[in-house]
Amino acid sequence: MKNGFVFLIGCGIFLLCCSSPAASDEPAASILTSQDTVRIADSTAFTIDYITGKFDPATHPDFTTILPEHANASDMLLRKDAYAAFIAMYDAAQKDGVQLLIISATRNFDRQKQIWEKKWTGQTLVEGNVNLAQSVPDPVERAQRILRFSSMPGTSRHHWGTDIDLNHLENDWFEQGEGLKIYTWLTDHAKDYGFCQPYSPKGPNRANGYEEEKWHWSWLPVAQPLTSQAAETLNDTDIQGFLGDQTAPAIGVVSNYILGINTLCR
């Protein structure tokens, strides 16, 4: 795994350096330096705080700001290596008449906590304007309802800086017209740049976890070792620090959600 990981990092740098310059004061090739590469390639272990998103990506040396032409907001962050791979994929897609747009990237623990707790308290309504605080008093059932599409703080792949949401947040949108064109291109080519759809359709090969998300793509050279380390070192009792955290052990959030992904992404 390690040799393949280093090779893919190198490929990402080569593709980035050979892509057209980005429209920014910072040259695209400077997103990932040789020193960054050595540090990333040697990072065979991540801390529990990293895995659970308890750090500030804005000050982390492995992260960078996504350029305006690649995202629908100006303050998104991504790991430098994952972003290098995305730029290569973005450029290739454009040549095929496909426009990729990042609409969500890194979300640390604090940001995921805000999202989760608004749903937990009913401040944010879910699925058909349901106030879960009023309609679902049982905490485990309420947590499971939120977990259909939102991660518990500490369990999201978006903590890692490897995962992106692209173009739209509705599966139906990717089943016709422009959305179908984009999704077809991604299913055919994303793997060439190290990306995989972790939340594939539920079925015999993925019985647990979140519902399908056609928009969510994960950069495997870093996400795979993080997934493996989460499996080895993370316990349900580590998932804490937010409203409803007592439900994590009852739900088995590590095995059923962090590890409940497309087998092709493992």
At 81-95, the pLDDT tens digits run 999 999 999 999 999
Q: Above 70 in pLDDT, residue 191?
A: yes
Number of other CB atoms surrounding residue 129 within 10 Å: 6
Residue 226 corresponds to which amino acid?
L
**What is the spatial distance between Cα 137 and Cα 264, in angstroms, rounded to a whole number?**
37
Q: How confident is the model at residue 42 (pLDDT cuts 50, 70, 90)?
A: very low
Nearest-CA neighbor of 151 among 115, 181, 182?
A: 115
Query: Per-residue pLDDT averaged across 53-59, rounded?
Result: 97
pLDDT of residue 10: 41
Number of other CB atoms surrounding residue 226 within 10 Å: 21
pLDDT of residue 9: 42
Q: Provide the whole-model pTM.
A: 0.85
Query: Per-residue pLDDT averaged across 178-197, rounded?
Result: 98
Q: Above 60 in pLDDT, residue 205?
A: yes
Cβ partners under 8 Å of residue 224, min gap 6: 1, 5, 265, 266
Walk me through the domains of the chain, giving residue ranges and CATH numbers.
2-265 (3.30.1380.10)
**What is the spatial distance between Cα 256 and Cα 39, in angstroms, rounded to a whole number?**
31
Q: What is the pLDDT of residues 24-35, one digit of tens each?
A: 334 333 454 434
Q: Above 60 in pLDDT, residue 153?
A: yes
Q: Above 70 in pLDDT, residue 223?
A: yes
Query: Side by side, which strands form the sheet with 195-196?
Result: 102-104, 163-166, 216-219, 195-196
Higher pLDDT, 135 or 40: 135
Take residue 232 and report the two structure tokens written for it.
Answer: 């080895």
Is residue 59 within 8 A of residue 70, CB to CB? The reply is: no
pLDDT of residue 37: 42
**What is the spatial distance between Cα 12 and Cα 7, in angstroms, rounded to a whole number?**
9
Query: Per-residue pLDDT averaged across 244-250, rounded?
Result: 98
Q: What is the pLDDT of residues 5-18, one digit of tens each?
A: 433 444 443 343 33
Q: How confident is the model at residue 45 (pLDDT cuts 50, 70, 90)?
A: confident
Mean confidence (pLDDT) of the chain: 87
**What is the spatial distance between Cα 173 and Cα 122, in angstroms, rounded to a whole number?**
27
